[in-house]
A and B are shown apart, each in its own frame.
Chain A
Amino acid sequence: MLWFAFLRLIGLMTTLLAASLVIFVVLEVIPGDPAEVMLGLNAQADTLAALRAELGLNAPVYTRYINWVLGMLHGDFGVSYTYSVPVAELIGERVQVSLPLASGALILSTALAIPIGVYSARHHGKIIDTGIMAVAQIGIAVPNFWIAILMVYVFAIVLRILPSGGFPGWDENFFGSLQALLLPVIALALPQASILARVMRSALLDVLHEDYIRTARAKGLSNKATLWRHGVRNALIPVLTILGLQFSFLIAGTVIIENAFYLPGLGRLIFQGITQRDLIVVKSSVMLLVALTIIVTFLVDIAYAAIDPRLRRRP
C-alpha cells in the first residue's frame, strides 16, 4: 500500500511538472509579448522596456521557466501587476474563501449523494425511486448559477435570513462568514450531488446482482446488512471515479459561483486577472488550481487502493 502511494506520488510530481510547462508555454512563449498585452496597444516604448525588465522577460525562455518554478516552490509567485502586491499574498487571502467553498461543496455533495443513492437503489423501481431520480435529473440539467439566483431570491430577498452575497472575512465575523458561504456551497453542491446520487444508485444496483451478494444472503445476512456490508463498499469504486472527474468541474463552478455571490475568492481573482490582463496572477492561480486537481486525483487513486485490494500490488 505504501509502495503504491509512493509510485503514485512520483506520478503526481511528473504530472505537476508537465502541467507547469504547458501553462508556461501557453501564457508566455506563444506569440504576443506579455508586456505588450498588459500595457495595451498604445504603450510607450520606454514603459514597455521597463516592464519587460521588471518582468524579467529579457532572460532566455528556459531561465524564465526555471525561475518561475523555483520561485513557486519558495512561495514566491511574483508581483501582481494590477494590485501591486505579491501574488502569493493575494492568493493566500482568496484561498480562505475558495477552499472552504470547494471543500464544503465536495463534502456536502458526497454526504447527500451516497445516502440518497443507496436509498434509491434499495427502493429500486418504486415510486420513491423514480421521484428521487427525476429530481436528480433536474439537478443535473439546471445550471448552478441559476440555482444560485433562485436561492438568493428565496432566502435573501423573500425570507431575509441569509445574505445575498459578499464576504465579511473570517477574522471580522466568523459566523457571518459561515452564513455567507452557506448558499454558495449549496448552489455548488446540488448539481454534483445529483450526478453522484445517480452514479451511486446504478453502481449499487449493479453490485447487488453480483454472486457474492447471493453468498452473503446465503450466510443468513438480512437484505439491509448485505447492502451495507457487501454492497456499498464495492459500489463506491465507480462513485469515486466520477468524484475525481467531477472535481475539476467543481473548481470551474467556483469561478461562476464566486461571481454570482460576489465572493472574493480564487475564481473571481482569475476572472479579474483575465479581464485586466494580469497574466502573472492568472498564471499562478491557474497553476494552483491545476495542482489542486492533480492532488485530488492522487487522493482518489489512494482511496481506490484503500477500497479495492486488487489494486494494491506487492513490490
Chain B
Amino acid sequence: MTPALIAKDLCVSISGNPVLRNVSFALEQGKILGLVGESGSGKSMSALSVMQLLPEGARQTGELLFEDKNLTSATDSQMTKVRGKDISMVFQEPLTALNPTRTIGDQVCEGLRWHSRLSRKEAMKRTIIVLERVGLGLEYGLIDRFPHQLSGGQRQRVVIAIAIACQPKVLIADEPTTALDVTVQAQILTLLKDIVQQEQMAMLLISHDLAVVAEMADDVAIMKDGVIVERGPTCQLFDTLSHPYSKKLFDASNYVPAPRQEPVDELAPPLLQVNNVVRRYPLPRGNMFSRRQWHQAVQHVSFDLAPRQSLGLVGESGCGKSTLARTILGLTPPEGGRIQFLGKNPYTISHSDRQDLQLGIQAVFQDPYGSFDPRHTVERTVGEPLHLMRKDFSRLQRRKRVHEVLESVGLSSADANKYPHEFSGGQRQRIAIARALVTNPSLIVADEPVSALDVSIRAQILDLFADLRDRLGMAYLFISHDLSVVQAITDRVIVMNAGRIVEEGPTEEVFTRPKHPYTQVLVAAAPDLNEALHKRRRQ
C-alpha cells in the first residue's frame, strides 16, 4: 500500500537557524508513527511543517507528498482545502486550543461547513455524530456549552472531534495527552488508537514520553536537534538501539537513582506530623442570596514523616496535594487539625520560633524560571532565604555559603554572578534546589520538581536528590502526578484522591500490589515503557 503522506528530506530554518535537517518519514493508513525527542528536537516543527503552519520567517526545502501534491510548494489558499479536510491536527493544551467565546457545537461544526456545502442543520447532525464518536454523546449536552464548562479530558475530546470531523486521511497529534492526568491520558490514547484503526487514518504521534509512544506507535523515530537519529518498528527499534543518543534517552526514561545507603529509622520521633488536617476553599457564589458552597480541598489528612525519610505524595490534579503542601510550608493555615514540624506547630508559635522552623523546611517548585526574579543574580536569589538567619551573616559569609551550595548541586561558584536566563532548564532547577539548601534545612518539600524537565535532565536531577539524601541526610516530601518519578526516589508513598488519603505504605509495595481501587486504576493507567514493550512482543 502506498503511504498516505511522505516527507522527503524536509529542511526548515527559522530566520537562518536550522530547526529541521533532512527529515524523512512516511505515514501509512491505519498506522501510527511515533516521533519522540526532547524539547527543541524539532518534533513540533515537523508537525507544523506537515500542516504548513510554520511560524513567520520560516524557510523550507524538501518534499511533502500527499496525493500527488507537494505541500511544500502549495499556496496558502490551496492548503486551506487540505487542512482540516485531509490532514488534521490535535494540539497539546486543550484549554487554550478552543475559542472561549464560542460553543462546542459551533466549533466542531465550523470545519465541516468550511469544507462542504452542508447546511447548518445537516452540519449540526454530523457534529452530533462526531461528538458521539469521541465519547461525548448527547447525554452530556455539550453542544451548547462553552469550553470553560468542560473538564480537561472533555476538552481534549472536543479538540479530537474538531480534527476528525471531516474524516481526514492523516491525523497529527502533538503531545495530545501531556497536559492531562494519567487516567484521562489512558482514555484519550485508547480513543485515538481506536479512531486510527477504525477509520484507517494515518497518524503522526508526537511525544516526549517514550512509554506513551511505545504503547501507541507501530513505528518510532527518535529526533535530536532537528535530525531523525534512529527509526524502525517499535519493538525492533527499542531492542536494538544503536545510536548513543537514543540509548541515553531510553536509559534516562527508565532511570532509577541508586538506592539509599543507610536505612531510615522509622521509629525515631517524626520530623513532620500532619494530624487530621482540613482545608477547604469557598466556591464562587451562584448569586448573592444563595448559600456559599465549599470545595473540600484537604479532608482529615494525617501522616508522619521520619527524619531523612523520602515520602511521596501522588494524586491527580485537584486532589488536594498542592493545598496540603502549602499548609505544610506554613503558607495557608489549616482549618482543622494540626501540623507539627520539629515538634512545634508553625501556626501557633512566636515569630522568632517560626523563623527557626522556616529555616528547617524549604521548597522546590515545578517551574524554576517562574519562581525566580529575572532581575536578581543567582547569588541574590540563592542567598535570599539567609535573611531568616538572625545571627548576622556577613556579606562574605553569605557569599561563601552561596558558593558552597552551588557547588553542592553541581554548579560552579562562578555561576553566582549570572542571571536566571543564562541557564538551561535543568541548571535552573539546580539553582532552585540550591536556594532550598542554603539554610541547611532538614526537610525539602518538592512540588512536581522534575515535571517540566526533559527525561535526560530529569535523571540528573533525581540523582542530585538522591545524592543530597545520602550526603546531607535530607528528608523529602515529593509531590508529583508522575508515578515513575515518585517510585524512583521515595521510600514511602501516600496516594490522595479528592482530598483524602486512600492508600499509604512502602513505595515498592503500593506500586506492585495496590490495594485501594483508585490506586489500582492509577497504577494501571500510568504508561510504563518496559511493560508496553513487553505487551507488544507478546502480540
Contact of B83 among A217, A234, A308, A309 (CB under 8 A): A217
A287 to B110, CA, bound (A): 48
Whether the Cβ atoms of A315 and B286 lie closer than 8 Å is yes
Chain B stretch 235-284: residues in CB contact (< 8 A) with chain A:
284
Q: Digit string of B46-85 for contact with A (CB within 8 Å is 1, else 0)?
A: 0000010100000000000000000000001100111111
Whether the Cβ atoms of B146 and A310 lie closer than 8 Å is yes
Whether the Cβ atoms of A314 and B101 lie closer than 8 Å is no
A179 to B82, CA, bound (A): 53
A218 to B111, CA, bound (A): 9
Shortest Cβ distance from B288 into A: residue: A7
Shortest Cβ distance from A223 into B: residue: B76
A233 to B107, CA, bound (A): 14
Q: Does B318 contact A (CB under 8 A)?
A: no
The segment from A19-27, A70-78, A206-214, A250-258 found at the interface with B is A206-214
By a CB distance below 8 angstroms, the chain A residues around B96 are 210-212
Q: Is the interface of B mostly helix, strand, loop or mixed?
A: loop
By a CB distance below 8 angstroms, the chain A residues around B146 are 309-310
Whether the Cβ atoms of B85 and A220 lie closer than 8 Å is yes
Whether the Cβ atoms of B115 and A309 lie closer than 8 Å is no
Size class of A's contact patch? 20 to 34
Q: Does B328 contact A (CB under 8 A)?
A: no
The segment from B87-95, B482-490, B497-505 found at the interface with A is B87-95
A101 to B351, CA, bound (A): 63
Whether the Cβ atoms of B162 and A219 lie closer than 8 Å is yes
Whether the Cβ atoms of B84 and A218 lie closer than 8 Å is yes
Whether the Cβ atoms of A315 and B110 lie closer than 8 Å is no
Shortest Cβ distance from A207 into B: residue: B99
Give min CB distance, A32 to chain B, whole Å. Answer: 40
Whether the Cβ atoms of B53 and A219 lie closer than 8 Å is no
Whether the Cβ atoms of A315 and B93 lie closer than 8 Å is no
Whether the Cβ atoms of A229 and B51 lie closer than 8 Å is no
Contact of A222 among B51, B76, B102 (CB under 8 A): B76
Contact of B162 among A215, A234, A307, A313 (CB under 8 A): A215
Contact of A309 among B81, B93, B100, B163 (CB under 8 A): B100
Whether the Cβ atoms of B53 and A220 lie closer than 8 Å is no
Q: Does B290 contact A (CB under 8 A)?
A: yes
Q: Digit string of B436-452 for contact with A (CB within 8 Å is 1, else 0)?
A: 00000000000000000
Whether the Cβ atoms of B286 and A314 lie closer than 8 Å is yes
Query: Considering residues B88, B114, B146, which has the most beta carbons from chain A within 10 angstroms of its beta carbon?
Result: B114
Shortest Cβ distance from A215 into B: residue: B97
Q: Digit string of A232-274 for contact with B (CB within 8 Å is 1, else 0)?
A: 0110000000000000000000000000000000000000000
Whether the Cβ atoms of A229 and B148 lie closer than 8 Å is no
A314 to B93, CA, bound (A): 26
Contact of A216 with B99 at beta-carbon distance under 8 Å, contacts A223-B76, A225-B114 already known: yes
Whether the Cβ atoms of B101 and A308 lie closer than 8 Å is yes
Contact of B110 among A210, A219, A223, A313 (CB under 8 A): A219
Shortest Cβ distance from A220 into B: residue: B84
Whether the Cβ atoms of B91 and A215 lie closer than 8 Å is yes
By a CB distance below 8 angstroms, the chain A residues around B493 are none
Q: Digit string of A1-25 for contact with B (CB within 8 Å is 1, else 0)?
A: 0010001000000000000000000
Give min CB distance, A312 to chain B, whole Å. Answer: 9
Contact of A220 with B287 at beta-carbon distance under 8 Å, contacts A212-B99, A215-B97 already known: no
Whether the Cβ atoms of A214 and B53 lie closer than 8 Å is yes
Whether the Cβ atoms of A222 and B162 lie closer than 8 Å is no
Whether the Cβ atoms of A313 and B284 lie closer than 8 Å is yes
Contact of B159 among A215, A223, A234, A315 (CB under 8 A): A215
Shortest Cβ distance from B95 into A: residue: A211
Shortest Cβ distance from B146 into A: residue: A309
Whether the Cβ atoms of B114 and A219 lie closer than 8 Å is yes
By a CB distance below 8 angstroms, the chain A residues around B76 are 222-223
By a CB distance below 8 angstroms, the chain B residues around A313 are 284, 286
Q: Does B382 contact A (CB under 8 A)?
A: no
Shortest Cβ distance from B77 into A: residue: A222
Shortest Cβ distance from B159 into A: residue: A215
Give min CB distance, A161 to chain B, whole Å. Answer: 44
Q: Does B98 contact A (CB under 8 A)?
A: yes
Contact of A230 among B85, B99, B162 (CB under 8 A): B99
Q: Does A29 contact B (CB under 8 A)?
A: no
A310 to B114, CA, bound (A): 27
Shortest Cβ distance from A125 into B: residue: B56
Shortest Cβ distance from A124 into B: residue: B56
Q: Does A221 contact B (CB under 8 A)?
A: yes
Whether the Cβ atoms of B83 and A220 lie closer than 8 Å is yes
Shortest Cβ distance from B284 into A: residue: A313
Shortest Cβ distance from A218 into B: residue: B89
Chain A stretch 266-307: residues in CB contact (< 8 A) with chain B:
307
Shortest Cβ distance from B100 into A: residue: A310
Shortest Cβ distance from A230 into B: residue: B99
Give min CB distance, A259 to chain B, whole Å. Answer: 42
Whether the Cβ atoms of A234 and B114 lie closer than 8 Å is no
Contact of A220 among B80, B159, B288 (CB under 8 A): B80
Whether the Cβ atoms of A219 and B84 lie closer than 8 Å is yes
Shortest Cβ distance from A231 into B: residue: B99
By a CB distance below 8 angstroms, the chain A residues around B80 are 220-222
Chain B stretch 82-141: residues in CB contact (< 8 A) with chain A:
82-85, 88-89, 91, 93, 96-102, 110-111, 114-115
Whether the Cβ atoms of A211 and B97 lie closer than 8 Å is yes
Whether the Cβ atoms of A217 and B97 lie closer than 8 Å is no
Whether the Cβ atoms of B290 and A315 lie closer than 8 Å is yes
Contact of A234 among B84, B99, B163 (CB under 8 A): B99
Whether the Cβ atoms of A211 and B91 lie closer than 8 Å is yes
Contact of A219 with B83 at beta-carbon distance under 8 Å, contacts A310-B146, A315-B287, A315-B290 already known: yes
Whether the Cβ atoms of A7 and B99 lie closer than 8 Å is no
Whether the Cβ atoms of A218 and B88 lie closer than 8 Å is yes
By a CB distance below 8 angstroms, the chain A residues around B53 are 214, 217-218
By a CB distance below 8 angstroms, the chain A residues around B77 are 222
Give min CB distance, A289 to chain B, whole Å. Answer: 29
Shortest Cβ distance from B89 into A: residue: A218
A310 to B81, CA, bound (A): 33
Shortest Cβ distance from A314 into B: residue: B286
Whether the Cβ atoms of B101 and A307 lie closer than 8 Å is yes
Shortest Cβ distance from A212 into B: residue: B99
Chain A stretch 178-218: residues in CB contact (< 8 A) with chain B:
210-212, 214-218
**Which residues on B are within 8 Å of A, measured CB to CB?**
51, 53, 76-77, 80-85, 88-89, 91, 93, 96-102, 110-111, 114-115, 146, 148, 159, 162-163, 284, 286-288, 290
24 cross-chain CB contacts under 8 A: A3-B287, A7-B287, A7-B288, A210-B96, A211-B93, A211-B97, A212-B97, A212-B99, A215-B97, A215-B98, A218-B84, A219-B83, A219-B88, A220-B111, A221-B84, A221-B110, A221-B114, A222-B76, A223-B76, A229-B110, A234-B99, A308-B100, A310-B100, A315-B286
* Additional A-B contacts beyond A309-B148, A313-B284, A315-B286 (13; CB < 8 A): A211-B91, A211-B93, A211-B97, A215-B97, A215-B98, A220-B80, A220-B81, A220-B111, A220-B114, A222-B76, A225-B114, A309-B100, A313-B286
**Which residues on A are within 8 Å of B, measured CB to CB?**
3, 7, 210-212, 214-223, 225, 229-230, 233-234, 307-310, 313-315
Across the A-B interface, the 10 shortest Cβ-Cβ residue pairs: A220-B84, A219-B111, A211-B96, A219-B84, A220-B83, A309-B146, A212-B99, A218-B89, A315-B287, A211-B97
